[in-house]
């Protein structure tokens, strides 16, 4: 059984990040199996928590994922576009990067 709270929370976070409806559907892959949906939701929650460690204001917390980023992982694209394009692997890579930045 899917953790509906985590999925709803992940959708809200994506909305806060200014993801389009298409991006939300794509990033969460709402048509996939429950296990993957839960993993994607969990990764989004973890990215959001790391952003809250990095930044102390909602504008930066929510704006980071829509801001073009020069880090080689994103190559000038927005992190939201990257995770939409790369799927679950992109979510994992983004989490790893954000956790690394937040721990410094």
Report the chain's C-alpha Rg in angstroms: 13
CA gap 21, 75 in Å, rounded? 24
Structure tokens at 62: 């929510």
- Per-residue pLDDT 10s for the chain (104 aa) are 778 899 999 999 999 999 999 999 999 987 778 899 999 999 999 999 999 999 999 999 999 999 999 989 999 999 999 999 999 999 999 999 999 887 76
Number of domains into which the chain is organized: 1
DSSP string, 72-97: TTTTTS-HHHHHHHHHHHHHHHHHHH
Statement: the pTM of the whole predicted model exceeds 0.75: yes
CA gap 15, 31 in Å, rounded? 19
CA gap 71, 21 in Å, rounded? 26
Structural domain containing residue 14: 4-102
């Amino acid at each position: 059984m899917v953790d509906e709270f985590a999925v709803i929370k992940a959708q809200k976070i994506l909305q806060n990040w200014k993801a389009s409806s298409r991006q939300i559907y794509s990033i969460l892959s709402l048509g996939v199996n429950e296990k993957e949906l839960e993993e994607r939701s969990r990764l989004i929650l973890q990215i959001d928590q790391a952003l809250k460690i990095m930044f102390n204001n909602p504008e930066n917390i929510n704006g980071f994922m829509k801001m073009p980023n020069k880090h080689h992982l994103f190559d000038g694209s927005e992190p939201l576009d990257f995770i939409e394009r790369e799927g679950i692997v992109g979510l994992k890579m983004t989490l790893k990067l954000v956790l690394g930045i937040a721990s410094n």
